[in-house]
Chain A
């Protein structure tokens, strides 16, 4: 009982309890409402209908989900490469910062939904246009957060390294880059939450496989419960990706959490 790890786990669970309880309550309300029959089941299926439809169509959905994940992961990986490269470029060359930064921010006002059909025209019906949509959605938060992280490096620490005779590259490598990792992970966590949805938007416009296609087909056939099941799978995949990134973050920058978590003196109640 007094094992600190056990206590930490119990504490974490207790912290999430209100959210879990609220979710359960909402699902129960929804189920009850569906039972009253005020709304036809094919318009609003109950949570249990969705669960059954999901289990039933699991085999059918699996290849679609795999396709969506493939688009997501490829797009995300390319966004990480591109976002990091631009952030580093912006940090090293002030001219690049002044030229790119405002355009980058402005580019976020372009509705991706409207852009997706154009991507189909330009890149066809294959993997590429979906990857491009994911890339467009993920690139910005990664690039901007990392650039801000690099820019936020402590000037006093930079001065100290300079006084030691460090070269510009050494300062970048040993101070600015490691110091920007927390900001990079913040950007990455924002990016992954959007990434799966990005792939699905890409699929809606034109694809032969993917959760987006599955949703459209189910919707056209009025299999509403299946649409909800696909939405639930989409959410689960996004959450899984997010948790994966959060776990990677813990491994990559343990010092950041050590610094944030000072020894606390708790009152014993």
Chain B
């Protein structure tokens, strides 16, 4: 991919500076985001946790260019990015696979929109199918897939956009607990291989700690960054690390910042 401007060395891949956003809801004005700043470094995995309705999704919609902020600035590779549509990869909560397209045609939607030849897009997608547990399902329709498979297909679709920044909005939110644990480990494997920068949204504190390099806690509306926490666990991550006192301490701090500190016993 050629670039008009060279990225500033060491500049964050994605940077949000002092973002504010308000909405008009039935005559009232609601502040969704207030002075939110964050930076996502190259190859970094950053997670935002927050209660429902705190503006997490609004933040991602602003980051990917579907919404424009009322105030603040968004930078990609250190450059101000006014028009961002098509520049970062965005995966919404719902899989949104097009029901009339096969798995293969769904995951190659991005290259197709970009005018990449069908054979080339398919060749690459087919090579990735085994890693995504979709081998043999390339011609299946979304209706024939399980929930976990649909989310993996949606993630492959996001990955095949070939963007350096991926915004994942609660990708495992609708899955059952067991599938969710499996996909967390699988996602780390995929990420280790492709090393994109990921901004991940969840309301699950354990998921946030297990996956991330850094966790940001958002306050209830208006959304603000209430706490930033580095996760010093080594990689590759393993599930048993979640039982270490260090990790438990992190979770407690996060829960406390979320206002859920409820000392038991």
Taking Cβ atoms with an 8 Å cutoff, the residues of A that contact B are 154, 156-157, 159-166, 170, 174-175, 178-179, 181, 253, 255-256, 258-259, 262
Contact = CB atoms under 8 A, between A and B. Distances in A.
Closest 3 CB pairs of A and B: A165-B86, A259-B143, A255-B100
B100 A178 contact: yes
A173 to B, nearest CB: 10
Nearest to A165: B86
Interface string B86-106: 111010101010111100000
Contact of B98 (A159, A164, A175, A253): A175
Contacts of A166: 86, 113
Given A163-B65, A163-B90, A174 B141 contact: no
A160 B143 contact: no
Given A163-B86, A163-B90, A175-B98, 18 more contacts: A157-B96, A157-B98, A159-B92, A160-B92, A163-B66, A163-B85, A164-B90, A164-B109, A164-B110, A164-B161, A165-B114, A174-B113, A178-B98, A179-B100, A181-B100, A253-B100, A256-B99, A259-B99
Q: Is the interface of A mostly helix, strand, loop or mixed?
A: helix
B100 A163 contact: no
Nearest to B88: A163
Contacts of A164: 85-86, 90, 109-110, 113, 161
Q: Is the interface of B mostly helix, strand, loop or mixed?
A: loop
Interface of B: 61, 64-66, 85-88, 90, 92, 94, 96, 98-101, 109-110, 112-114, 141-144, 161
Contacts of A163: 64-66, 85-86, 88, 90
B109 A262 contact: no
B90 A259 contact: no
A255 B113 contact: no
A154 B142 CA distance: 16
Contact of A156 (B85, B96, B100, B161): B96
A221 B113 CA distance: 66
Contacts of A175: 98
Nearest to A166: B113
A159 B90 CA distance: 10
10 contacts: A157-B98, A162-B66, A164-B110, A166-B86, A178-B100, A253-B100, A256-B99, A259-B99, A259-B142, A262-B143
Contacts of B110: 164
A248 B113 CA distance: 29
A54 to B, nearest CB: 43
Contact of A259 (B61, B64, B65, B141): B141
A258 B109 CA distance: 21
B4 to A, nearest CB: 16
Contact of B66 (A154, A159, A174, A259): A159
A209 B62 CA distance: 66
Contacts of A161: 109, 113
Nearest to B140: A258
A156 B92 contact: yes
A191 B66 CA distance: 40
Contacts of A178: 98, 100
A262 B143 CA distance: 8
Contacts of A156: 92, 94, 96
